[in-house]
Amino acid sequence: MLSTKIKTVRVVIVEDYKLTRIGLRSSLNEFDGINVIGETEDAEKGIKMVQELNPDVVLMDLGLPGMNGIEATQQIKAGNKDIKI
């Protein structure tokens, strides 16, 4: 018997609106192959979280307070070109 293992996609959400984060997490966790492993409300914490958790995908809000999502994406990609944002 051939066993097929589905890879779980590990996701971090960076979004400043709490209700939006909750909605995204709830929606994504409905899928068997997706696991939200972290979430945060600002870019600086998001960069640190990505470095610590090494997710497959980051859902990044562009309009974040302080550092915006574009700058955060550039910093994350500088450290890990393979990550999907």
In the chain, the amino acid numbered 3 is S
Q: What is the pLDDT of residues 8-64, one digit of tens each?
A: 999 999 999 999 999 999 999 999 999 999 999 999 999 999 999 999 999 999 999
Please tell me the chain's helix, strand, coil percentages from 3-state DSSP, rounded to the nearest 5: 40, 20, 40
The model's pTM is: 0.90
Domain 9-79 sits in CATH at 3.40.50.2300
* Residue 1 predicted with pLDDT over 80: no
Query: Could you tell me which residue, 80 or 2, shows the higher pLDDT?
Result: 80
Per-domain residue ranges for the chain?
9-79
